[in-house]
Amino acid sequence: MSADLYPLIKLIHVTCAVISISGFLLRGVLMLRESPLLKARWMRVLPHINDTIFLTAAIALAAMSNQLPFYSSWVTAKIGGLIAYIILGSLALKAGRSRRVRITCWLAAMGVFGWIVSVALTRNPAGAFFRLLE
């Protein structure tokens, strides 16, 4: 891929990030309201389409900038955060045994997402907390 494509792919990645967290926030509100809309087919499918584009753009950006996992600590941290976000999101929207567990996991997942964004912005594995570690 050409370096000329980097700004476009980054825009796609950031746009997908905004869509992803917005959709997760909406699905969480629907979960809180016990809305049947949460079970609609399009509500279950669209996030996967967006997240596939999101992840594909992330992989392309990492490859284009040679910022690879286990080579760049901040990229490795983002991947760890992504895994935590996926697990918490699944517990929040589907697998949580109780309403309290689902709400706690939903809030924690949004916090993890914010931390992932802070890691991306600071390029530091501690993200927003890096100043505390100095």
pLDDT for res 74: 87
Average pLDDT score over residue span 111-122: 93
Average pLDDT score over residue span 35-58: 92
pLDDT for res 30: 93
pLDDT for res 133: 64
Average pLDDT score over residue span 76-82: 90
Higher pLDDT, 134 or 121: 121
Average pLDDT score over residue span 37-60: 92
pLDDT score of 109 more than 90: yes
DSSP string of 35-88, one letter each residue: -GGGGSHHHHHHHHHHHHHHHHHHHHHHHHHT--TTTSHHHHHHHHHHHHHHHH
